[in-house]
Structure 1
């Protein structure tokens, strides 16, 4: 079908090219007597028009019938019969009259032929443009339908394969006892649970690595008066040790703060969370430990008696809790900013 359409379009284009060549080609015309022939033709046509006008005036003068009224059939039967006889008489008189033909040297036939040829060429051009537009639309439709057919074939093949697998499974199960089917189902569930546990452990390890390597330094910077999490992606340990100005910029100090002053500030902000297994933690490690304990507490609350409606009681307003709220992971209690819970993504956010 597509090949036939291409052949038709090719023939149309070839015909258009040939027509254009004929139109643009130089015609060998003897122009020496063209002007005189045109003048002669014009005079001949004018004379013919005058003859027709004279004949019309003579007809009007010799006839007692109003031509305007004669143009419409009368409602009177006698008058209508008279009109018909007048028309019949006119046709009878005109029948033996030879039709008007231009003289032998007239250019009128050539002019009429040129006008007809021009009209044909213009009509052909319009037909070609219309055919090309219709062909383009047909090609677009054809490509779309071919794509739909391809998709339908793929879906049909997938459904047939699925039906074959289901039939094979049905035949296989029909040959097994209920005990065997129960054992296979239990084994499949255990394998699925094992896969879920492995994925959960892998995601947990990635999450804790993200907190330790990326998130904890930014949380510590926000706790020390620096930019909020995300505004300073790379936070160095020296910046945490130096501290931040009231505008959130890193302090430029030539001398490194003493360890006792630094530890005192860490204890003041994080308190007991700055110690892990009896070891003092630096700023990033303290923020990491706080975030881990907060996540553990939120998960424990989520899986506790209250389920998704229970809230976790916060010790203080921390950068970790604010980050979880900004990230749409958790939400504060509408009336108490010290209570926090994880968002149930299966439901809409609370107002």
Structure 2
């Protein structure tokens, strides 16, 4: 029992020391009077504990009741009733008894107030942290709702504008004769067709310029054993004429390659013939870039013809050989292989799924 008293006193001292360190500026715990008051309070509490223990020991000696057994309700109704009467009598005696409060100079109220204040501060910090998290979540939800509201407003405005246009078109057509409406639709269709034709010509010319200025030389380099398209830019005709090593590096251009050797190599790879430039009488040999350019154009034309031919755009073009041009179209996601035959390819229909 004495050990428990000492432990209780040690805890009180530790709590007083901790409180003194945390609230030394706001509470008078550093003066000698406060320490003396604390010592008196500890002695007073120790004396009260000893008195209570003495009274408890005297009560145990005078009573023959087992406290542990009396702490639980008996299963016998009569014994249970006696226990309830005893408890009632105890409460009746304790109600008018004035509780023993610490004296005027005791430090117990200050210690209790300090402990309560520390608990409230800790709870306030936890509540602030929880509130900050909730505010962040609510702000995120508010931003999402505002974005949804903005999209809904834009959609509503677009729908209202569409309704206004449709009503105007309906009112305009309702005032015209059927022949006039048909003539207007035909004119609109013809204008759209002409616009599409001009756009196709523009895009076709842009594609041809792109192939001629950039892609053809790189395709020829890959076909001759050089790097793949995109790994080497600004490929010169001299580099193509010199060729590439087995490791894909350009050979030295010091040794001049004859036109006959170049033409024989072009014929072996691309199978093309010489062409006449500018309508001249002399036949000029075709360069490697021009051969690759011609092959790429022909391949794209064949792919377009296959797509627009029978089969509803699902037909495949059978390749004569595995060329750098076809590999470039596959890597660029312009064409795709047949799922069961790597010698067949077709253009990707971007309006449908990749694998029909």
Q: What is the CA distance between 1:255 and its match in structure 2?
A: 5.5
The SS at the match of 2:27 is: coil
Residues 258-294 of structure 1 deviation map (CA, whole Å, 9 limit, x = unaligned) = 5555555555655553224674343133333343344
Equivalent residue, structure 2, for 1:203: 203
**2:297 matches 1:292:** yes
Equivalent residue, structure 2, for 1:9: none
339, 342, 347: which one aligns with 1:343: 347
Matches within 5 A, 1:6-17: none
- Are 1:274 and 1:289, in contact at CA under 8 Å, matched by a contact in 2? no
In the alignment, structure 2 segments of 5+ residues that lack a partner are 1-21
User: TM-score of the superposition, structure 2-length normalised?
Assistant: 0.74
Work out the CA distance in 2 between the residues paired with 1:236 and 1:145.
Answer: 57
Equivalent residue, structure 2, for 1:191: 191
- Are 1:37 and 1:107, in contact at CA under 8 Å, matched by a contact in 2? yes
- Are 2:224 and 2:243, in contact at CA under 8 Å, matched by a contact in 1? yes
Residues 125-180 of structure 1 deviation map (CA, whole Å, 9 limit, x = unaligned) = 22222222222222222222222222222222222222222222223223333222
Work out the CA distance in 1 between the residues paired with 2:229 and 2:256.
Answer: 24
The SS at the match of 1:342 is: strand
**Greater mean alpha carbon deviation, residues 304-313 or residues 157-166:** 304-313
Work out the CA distance in 2 between the residues paired with 1:270 and 1:88.
Answer: 114
Change (3 A) 1:214 1:25: same
- Are 2:242 and 2:250, in contact at CA under 8 Å, matched by a contact in 1? yes
**2:286 matches 1:282:** yes
Work out the CA distance in 2 between the residues paired with 1:267 and 1:88.
Answer: 119
Residues 71-128 of structure 1 deviation map (CA, whole Å, 9 limit, x = unaligned) = 3444445434433443344344445543212223222222222222222222222222
- Are 2:316 and 2:346, in contact at CA under 8 Å, matched by a contact in 1? no
Equivalent residue, structure 2, for 1:309: 315
Equivalent residue, structure 2, for 1:82: 82
Change (3 A) 1:45 1:182: same
Work out the CA distance in 2 between the residues paired with 1:88 and 1:253.
Answer: 116
Equivalent residue, structure 2, for 1:121: 121
Structure 1 runs, 4 residues or longer, greater than 6 Å off: 332-336
- Are 1:308 and 1:344, in contact at CA under 8 Å, matched by a contact in 2? no
Work out the CA distance in 2 between the residues paired with 1:227 and 1:120.
Answer: 73
Work out the CA distance in 2 between the residues paired with 1:318 and 1:81.
Answer: 105
The SS at the match of 1:45 is: helix
Q: What is the CA distance between 1:295 and its match in structure 2?
A: 3.5
User: TM-score of the superposition, structure 1-length normalised?
Assistant: 0.75
Work out the CA distance in 2 between the residues paired with 1:82 and 1:333.
Answer: 93
Equivalent residue, structure 1, for 2:180: 180
Pairwise CA RMSD of aligned residues? Answer: 3.6
Equivalent residue, structure 2, for 1:171: 171
Q: What is the CA distance between 1:49 and its match in structure 2?
A: 1.9
Work out the CA distance in 2 between the residues paired with 1:248 and 1:269.
Answer: 17
- Are 1:218 and 1:228, in contact at CA under 8 Å, matched by a contact in 2? yes
- Are 1:73 and 1:80, in contact at CA under 8 Å, matched by a contact in 2? yes
Residues 177-208 of structure 1 deviation map (CA, whole Å, 9 limit, x = unaligned) = 32222222211111111111011101111111
Matches within 5 A, 1:25-40: 25-28=25-28, 31-40=31-40
Equivalenced residues, count: 326
